Amino acid sequence: MSWRFFRQISGFLGLALIGALCWGLLVAGERSMGTENTSALSALMHAMMRPQLTGTYLSAAAIMWIVMMIAMMAPAALLMMVIFQRMNRGAAPSRDATLFAAGYLSGWSLFAVVAAGLQWWLHSLGWIRGMSLAAGSELAAGLFLAAGAYQLSPWKESCLTRCQSPMSFLLENWRDGPLGALRMGFHHSLYCVGCCWLLMLLMFAGGAMSVATMGALCLFVLLERLVPPSRWLARLPGVALLAWGAWLVTL
């Protein structure tokens, strides 16, 4: 493998490694719940078991949500990273790829901070509870109905179209240099957040600490981006989410 080729795929490899590391941390953290594990990750999770408004709770929740968002959304950006590095003709491709990834992950990190605040609010009201911080049937139903309705909305369609066409996004928004790479990564993350923010809030329905829920959402997001664009096919998940939410209402 030539050094030039390695530089061209360094962003892809770096983002994949970061995503894998975050998945490893989450799996290890879930296994440590309910044990006497004294690791730093276990301490973060246990800090969220009591919903007092403290810096410790909010910091722990923000860190956990950032790790979760990186784990779930890094795989969805791998194709974009490959195309970005192929198109980039700058003098420092590895640097530009790193900055593009940093911009992308910073957008999701900002969303994670907001989600952490929402988690504290729901927890303080008693709407999420237990070791996994799962919602009751009423809140879960509302989340599924909201996510289903959003799946069918023009805002979702607009954001998803840009996420499904990384080449078009880069051609329309290309900026040269390190600052340009950072801006493009952040810009792309805004479309991704706009596409998936309500899907990510389904974490509360399945349990904010549930690795299984994270895996299901990660797979769904990947399929949305990889399946050839089709308006009718895109509507099926929305209908399914609405049906599931309606069923939960009857419980």
- Confidence category of residue 36, pLDDT binned at 50, 70, 90: low
Tell me the pLDDT band of 54, cut-offs 50, 70 and 90: confident
Place of tokens 């990750």: 41
d(CA 249, CA 251): 6
Q: Is the pLDDT of residue 46 over 90?
A: no
If you average pLDDT over residues 219-240, what whole number do you get? 84
pLDDT at 130: 72
**In this predicted structure, what is the pLDDT of residue 232?**
74
Mean pLDDT over 22-30 rounds to 87
**Greater confidence, 187 or 7?**
187
- Contact by Cβ (8 Å): 112, 68: yes
pLDDT mean across residues, the chain:
87
DSSP letter, residue 153: S
Evaluate whether 83 touches 102 at the Cβ level (below 8 Å): no
pLDDT (average), residues 215-236? 85
Residue 41: what pLDDT?
61
Residue 43 has pLDDT above 90, yes or no: no
Look at 44 and 220; give whichever has higher pLDDT: 220
Q: Distance between the two ends of the chain, CA-based, in angstroms?
A: 58
Q: What is the CA radius of gyration of the chain?
A: 19
What are the extents of the domains in the chain?
A: 3-249
- Of residues 237 and 3, which shows the higher confidence score? 237
Contacts of 141 (CB under 8 A, 6+ apart): 245, 246, 248, 249, 251
Dihedral pair phi/psi, residue 130, rounded to 5°: 85, 175
Alpha-carbon torsion angle 224, 200, 137, 56, nearest 10: 160
Query: Is residue 48 within 8 Å of residue 64, measured between CB atoms?
Result: yes
pLDDT of residue 210: 87
Could you tell me the CA-to-CA distances from 113 to 65, 91, 106, 218 in Å, in that order? Answer: 7, 35, 11, 19
Q: Does residue 35 have a pLDDT over 80?
A: no
Among 54-63, 141-150, 161-170, 225-234, the range of highest mean pLDDT: 141-150
Indicate if the pLDDT at residue 148 is higher than 80: yes
> Could you tell me which of 115, 123, 133 has the C-alpha nearest to residue 193?
115
- 64-101 tens-digit pLDDT: 999 999 999 999 999 999 999 888 877 688 889 999 99
Tens of pLDDT, residues 170-220 = 999 999 989 999 999 999 999 999 999 999 999 999 888 889 999 999 999
